[in-house]
Structure 1
Amino acid sequence: MAGGILWFTHLAMKEINMYKYPIGKLRVQPVGIIIFAAVMATLGFQVLVTAVQQLIENNPPEKMSVDQLVWLYSIMIFATVVKLALWLYCRSSGNKIVRAYADDHHFDVVTNVIGLVAAVLGDKFYWWIDPVGSILLSIYTITNWSGTVMENAVSLVGQCAPPEVLQKLTYLVRAYTFGVLYFVKVDIELPEDLPLKEAHAIGESLQIKLEKLPEVARAFVHLDFECDHKPEHSVLTKLPDHKSDHKPEQLL
C-alpha cells in the first residue's frame, strides 16, 4: 500500500499539463506523503485500540507450536533483511518521495524486530508482553508519522525559507547609500542559450520595478550565465593600501 501511494504520487507529478496546472505539480509530492503518513498513523491508532482491548479482556492466546515458531522466525527475519536492504538503498536518494519510502522501510525494520521479540517473549513467558509491545509500537507509529504529516503540511502553507537559502538570495542583492537614497545592484543567472533580446527584457523589467521603489535612486541588474566566478568589478585593487602584483599598463 505504501509503495502504491508513493508510486501514484510520482506518476501524477510526471504528467504535466500547463493549461490545467500552469505552475506544475510539485506540490503533489508533499500531498502524497501526507496521505501516506496519515494512513500509517491511522493504522497505528487501530493497533493501539486492538492491543488495549486485548489487555482489558485479559484473554491470553494459545501457545504457538514449534512449526508456527519456525514459520514466524523465517518470515519475519526474511522480511526484515529485505526491508533493511531497501532502506539502505533508498535513504541515499535526493527525491523526497524515495526518502519517504526509505522512512517506511526503516519503520518496518524497527516494528518487525520489536514485534518479533514481543511475540516470542509473550509466547514463552507472559502473554501480556505481546500486546504491551504492540502498544509501544503503535505509539511510535503515531508519533513518527504524525511528525511527517506536520513537516510536509508546513511546506504547503508558505513557511519561510531556511536561513541558508535566504543568505544565498541576500548575497545576490546589494544596496548602498547614495545620498538619502540607495543604489541597488542585483546579480541574476540566466540560461546560457537564452536569446539576448529575452535576457535584456528580463533585466530591464527587473530594473524598472526596483527603481519604482521610493528608497531606490538607481538600480543595476547584472546578467550572467553562471555565478561561480569572481566579481568582474573589484574595488580592492583600487584602494591605496592594497598590494597587487598587477602592473598598470602605460597609456599611449
Structure 2
Amino acid sequence: MSATAIPTKVMDRNLPSPRDDLELVAMPPVVGREAGEKDPYSLRTKMIGEDKIKALRQRKTGGSKLASFYESQNEHINDLLKPMSAHSAEAAQDAENNALKMKIAVNASLVANTALAILQLYAAISSMSLALFASCIDAVDPFANLILWLAHRRSDRANENKWPVRGSRFETSDGNIIYGSIMGGVNVILVVESIQEFVTHTGDDLNKFHLASIVSVAVAFGVKFCLFLYCLAIRKSSSQVQVLWEDHRNDLLTNGFSILTAAGGAKLRWWIDPMGATIIAMVIITVWTRTVYEQFTFLAGITAPPDFINLVTYKAMTFSPSITSVDTVRAYHSGPQYFVEVDIVLPPEMPLWEAHDIAQDLQDQIEKLKDVDRCFVHVDHEISHEPEHRKKV
C-alpha cells in the first residue's frame, strides 16, 4: 500500500448556505462554526431504519453482510453529524479514562512476566522439554516489557523543545518494533534447536514426564488469561496495550500447546515434543512479523482509514459559511497517530486576520479529534492550482 494518503477530489460547496444549521463557536473574534445536530446536506435521509436492517438479516443469501454494511453506514453518518465539540470531548474523556488502565496494563504485565519467566524457566530446565522451552522463550520477555515501559515513560516526558511533535512515535519505533524483533529472533533460535533434535536423536525412548513443570506452565496460563482479558477491553486505547494484548494472546496459545506436546512427548512419542516446539516458534514468528510490518507502515506514513478522512472532510465543509470549497484533505500515520492536512478556499477579498482565525480555529478543532497528533490547514483563494504541497523531486 502506498505510504501517501489519497487526496479527496475538489468539493465545491454550491449548495444552500448551511448558516442556519451551524452553531457559533464561542471564541471571539473567530468566525469559525461547527456542524451541529442539524443536517445541511440531508445525510439522515440516507440512513436505513432498524426494521429494514432486521428484515435484511433474515435473508438467506447475503442478508447478514448487507445489514452489517448499513449498520456501519448509519454509524458513520451519525459520526459525521456529531458536533466537533462532542468528538473532542469524547476523545479527551477516553484519554482520561484509559490513562490509569494503560499504566496498570503496562506495569502489571511487567511484574507478571518477570515472575512467570522465572517459573517457566524452572519448568523448562527441570523437564528439558523443547516445547516448554518454546513457551519459556516466549515468556522470558521482561526485557521487552521494560522497553515498552521505558518507551511509555519517555513519550510522557518528552522535552517539547527537543522533540517538537512530542513522544508519540516512541511507542512505535522504540517499543513495538524492537519488541517484535526480539521475539522473532529468539524463536528462530528455537526452530534451529528443534531441527537439531530431530537430526541427532537416536532410539525411541520417551521423554521423562515432570508433573511440577506441567503445573508451573498451567499456573502461567491462568495468569496470562487474566491479563489477556484485561488488555482486551482497552487494547484500542494505545498501540502499547495492543502489543501487550497480542503478547498475552500468543502466550496463551504457546502455553496451552506446550503443555499438550510436552505431555505427548513423555507419554506417546518422543518427536511430539520437538515438533510442538517448532510449530509454536513458527506461529510466533509469523504473528510478530505481521505486527512489526504493521508498526513499520505507521512510521512510513500509511494513509488513515477512509471513514476518518470522510469525517475530516465533512467537518471542514461545514465548519464556516465563509469556506467556499474544500480543495484537498489528507490524513496519514506519523507513528500511532495521524497527521492531517486540509486545504480550504476562502473569498479573495477576506481580510488576513479573519482568514487566519478561521483556519486556526479549524486546526484547533481537528487536533482535538481522537488519534490526531497534528493538523495543518492551508488557505487559498481559488481552486485552479495543483493541489500539492510536497517537494518536487
* TM-score (normalised: structure 1): 0.70
C-alpha displacement at 1:12, in angstroms? 1.1
Contact 2:231 2:242 in 1 (8 A): yes
Contact 2:359 2:379 in 1 (8 A): no
Match of 2:266 in 1: 123
Q: Which of 177, 180, 196 is matched with 1:37 structurally? A: 180
Match of 2:300 in 1: 157
Cα gap change, 1:8 to 1:206, in 2 (>3 Å): closer
* 2:232 counterpart letter in structure 1: R
* 1:92 counterpart letter in structure 2: A
CA displacement, residues 183-237 of structure 1 (integer Å, 9 cap, x when unaligned): 3269xxxxxxxxxxx9974316799953344439xxxxxxxxxxxxxxxxxxxxx
* 1:183 counterpart letter in structure 2: T
Match of 1:166 in 2: 309
2:276 equivalent to 1:133: yes
Match of 2:342 in 1: none
* 1:81 counterpart letter in structure 2: G
Match of 1:79 in 2: 220
C-alpha displacement at 1:8, in angstroms? 1.2
Q: Which of 193, 203, 208 is matched with 2:358 structurally? A: 203
Matches within 5 A, 1:1-252: 1=142, 2-31=144-173, 32-59=175-202, 63-64=207-208, 69-93=210-234, 94-174=237-317, 183-184=324-325, 201-203=356-358, 210-215=379-384
**Rounded Cα–Cα distance in structure 1 between residues aligned with 2:354 and 2:380:** 18
* 1:118 counterpart letter in structure 2: T
SS at match of 2:304: coil
* 2:257 counterpart letter in structure 1: I
* 1:89 counterpart letter in structure 2: Y
Contact 2:206 2:269 in 1 (8 A): no
**Rounded Cα–Cα distance in structure 2 between residues aligned with 1:74 and 1:173:** 59
**Rounded Cα–Cα distance in structure 2 between residues aligned with 1:199 and 1:43:** 59
**Rounded Cα–Cα distance in structure 2 between residues aligned with 1:49 and 1:98:** 31
**Rounded Cα–Cα distance in structure 1 between residues aligned with 2:355 and 2:379:** 15
**Rounded Cα–Cα distance in structure 2 between residues aligned with 1:151 and 1:101:** 15
SS at match of 1:210: strand
C-alpha displacement at 1:62, in angstroms? 6.5
SS at match of 2:324: strand
* 1:30 counterpart letter in structure 2: T
Higher relative contact order (CA 8 A, sep 6+): 2
Cα gap change, 1:83 to 1:42, in 2 (>3 Å): same
C-alpha displacement at 1:125, in angstroms? 1.4
**Rounded Cα–Cα distance in structure 2 between residues aligned with 1:47 and 1:205:** 55
Task: Number of aligned residue pairs: give it.
Answer: 196
**Rounded Cα–Cα distance in structure 2 between residues aligned with 1:104 and 1:124:** 30
* TM-score (normalised: structure 2): 0.46
**Rounded Cα–Cα distance in structure 2 between residues aligned with 1:205 and 1:3:** 40
- Consecutive aligned runs of 4 or more in structure 1 exceeding 4 Å deviation: 59-62, 204-209
Contact 2:206 2:268 in 1 (8 A): no
**Rounded Cα–Cα distance in structure 2 between residues aligned with 1:156 and 1:7:** 20
C-alpha displacement at 1:19, in angstroms? 1.1
C-alpha displacement at 1:59, in angstroms? 4.4
Higher gyration radius (CA): 1
Cα gap change, 1:115 to 1:213, in 2 (>3 Å): same
**Rounded Cα–Cα distance in structure 2 between residues aligned with 1:99 and 1:47:** 25
* 2:159 counterpart letter in structure 1: N
Q: Root-mean-square deviation (CA), in Å?
A: 2.8
Match of 1:249 in 2: none
Contact 2:221 2:252 in 1 (8 A): yes
CA displacement, residues 123-180 of structure 1 (integer Å, 9 cap, x when unaligned): 11111110011111111011000000000000001111111111111212339xxxxx
| Long gaps (5+) in structure 1 | 176-181, 187-197, 217-252
Match of 1:232 in 2: none
Q: What's the % identity of the aligned pairs? A: 26
Contact 2:313 2:326 in 1 (8 A): no
